[in-house]
Structure 1
């Protein structure tokens, strides 16, 4: 399990055409990794995430994605993702296939993938028409009770990318605070990349924490601030103002393109990205 610069990790392990899950729930969203995917011009990606928000809006708007498997997409607390909507409604910058699920359906699919099972089951998709527009939502009959259950195919990303608070020098990963689908997405993946706030000699005990063992981790990149503008519990707060500003930035194709050129394509790495935002604020 090598420690790599983020640029090298993305170059080596995220090929064009891959299925890629950048997971994080409320906090620890791997923005730095998403921006590096954009800088390297990755294409034809099948993006997967329980709750795609700004970083997926950016990757979709920059033409990285051909397909999106998800359960909810939006700018939390603000509104729509304008680049996602433009891709779906107007095929700009390219058409985007949708594979839409409920949160419970995505969780069941990740759990099935992590368990090496072909599909997940749940009591769900009742009294709604989502299964009518998504042929990948089907049903099975329980062999023990005869109950009809919803079924979803397992999710096994080619690559899962996470951001975490810390790794030790053996590559074990500790994630503190709110835990979304990170553990299941990690265990379901063929390749696991993790960016971290810090590398420590020993992982400290913590409440509400999980540890991902080094033997499932493909590469670790030291990337302080790698979840910004989302937050990293115990390290920095969420930049709520940025989420509000993004609504205006992404509303037009021209404004979006200018911002991405200045702050992502025009910067060498995540440190330079953060500096560019500070320069603008100054």
Structure 2
């Protein structure tokens, strides 16, 4: 990963790659174009630490709590610097990743009829179907330089297994030029799992990192629960620039990824409940 890259940190409430995003912040990466269907507090942190140039997204918020205060401060007040935003619907983002994975230049789908996003997002176009004459929506394909996801297991061959809720992790990795997968466990093989349960074969993945707890405070189905208290706390932490910077210094800049395993010890045994 390098300055100026486009990066997708994907996960849909479940399996959000917090540890990997913290490493990006520690490395001081800048001028990033970041994308995600549902950017939450890791995007608040990336934006607040000045890593982000542009955000491509559909719905941004602290799930179950409220807004992203560092994102709002950047958009409204230009702190720590102004960022560009490109807002889409969930359907548009999912289709755009799918198009990127298929090597297509754009995604074409039914959507955005009567939607006001078309007034503020010039990348939402319309095309006419050559077969039916129907007017359809079109958006550019998403092809990140790097896709980063968190997963349950990786085999020693590099195959990736995810259980529970899926977002667009598979599509993001297939659309990306390079990919990093952090995992809870590395195993010899996926004993007892159906061959069809392998989400990503090893040849689609650039690198695997063993990072137990790497999704905290989000959850990993069957391993640890969502840490709701951390999301509630974040709203207070992010409300002021000074408290945000102090928290990031203490909890991100000064610590390495091994800390994540300790953070989920009290959640293990809750069987990955979503809430």
- TM above 0.5: yes
Q: Which whole-Å deviations, capped at 9, do the CAs of 1:165-196 have from their partners, x for residues lacking one?
A: 00000100111110101111011000010000
Cα distance in structure 1, aligned partners of 2:260 and 2:223:
18
Q: Which position in structure 1 is the counterpart of 2:56?
A: 69
Cα distance in structure 2, aligned partners of 1:171 and 1:272:
24
Q: Select which of 111, 122, 127 maps to 2:109.
A: 122
Mean Cα displacement is larger for which, 198-207 or 228-237?
Answer: 198-207
Two-structure CA RMSD over aligned residues (Å): 1.6
Q: Which whole-Å deviations, capped at 9, do the CAs of 1:240-273 have from their partners, x for residues lacking one?
A: 0110110000000000000000010111x12235
Conserved? CA contact 1:51–1:71, under 8 Å: yes
Q: Select which of 167, 175, 178 maps to 1:180.
A: 167
Q: Which whole-Å deviations, capped at 9, do the CAs of 1:63-93 have from their partners, x for residues lacking one?
A: 0000000001000010000000001101100
Conserved? CA contact 1:120–1:153, under 8 Å: yes
Q: Select which of 169, 178, 190 maps to 1:203.
A: 190
Conserved? CA contact 1:263–1:277, under 8 Å: no
Q: Which position in structure 2 is the counterpart of 1:15?
A: 2
Q: Select which of 238, 242, 252 maps to 2:240.
A: 252
Cα distance in structure 1, aligned partners of 2:36 and 2:76:
20
Is 1:242 matched with 2:230? yes
Conserved? CA contact 2:212–2:260, under 8 Å: no
Conserved? CA contact 1:39–1:265, under 8 Å: yes
Cα distance in structure 2, aligned partners of 1:55 and 1:63:
13
Question: What are the equivalent positions in structure 2 for 1:26-175 lying under 5 Å apart?
Answer: 26-175=13-162
Cα distance in structure 1, aligned partners of 2:16 and 2:166:
11
Change (3 A) 1:245 1:209: farther
Cα deviation for residue 109 of structure 1 reads: 0.5
Unaligned runs of 5+ in 1: 1-13
State the secondary structure of the residue aligned to 1:176: coil
Cα deviation for residue 206 of structure 1 reads: 5.8
Cα distance in structure 2, aligned partners of 1:136 and 1:261:
37
State the secondary structure of the residue aligned to 2:103: coil
Q: Which position in structure 1 is the counterpart of 2:249?
A: 261
Conserved? CA contact 1:264–1:273, under 8 Å: no
Cα distance in structure 1, aligned partners of 2:28 and 2:197:
34
Q: Which position in structure 2 is the counterpart of 1:227?
A: 215
Cα deviation for residue 129 of structure 1 reads: 1.1
Cα distance in structure 2, aligned partners of 1:202 and 1:208:
14
Is 1:190 matched with 2:177? yes
Unaligned runs of 5+ in 2: 266-275
Cα distance in structure 2, aligned partners of 1:170 and 1:274:
24
Cα distance in structure 1, aligned partners of 2:47 and 2:190:
36
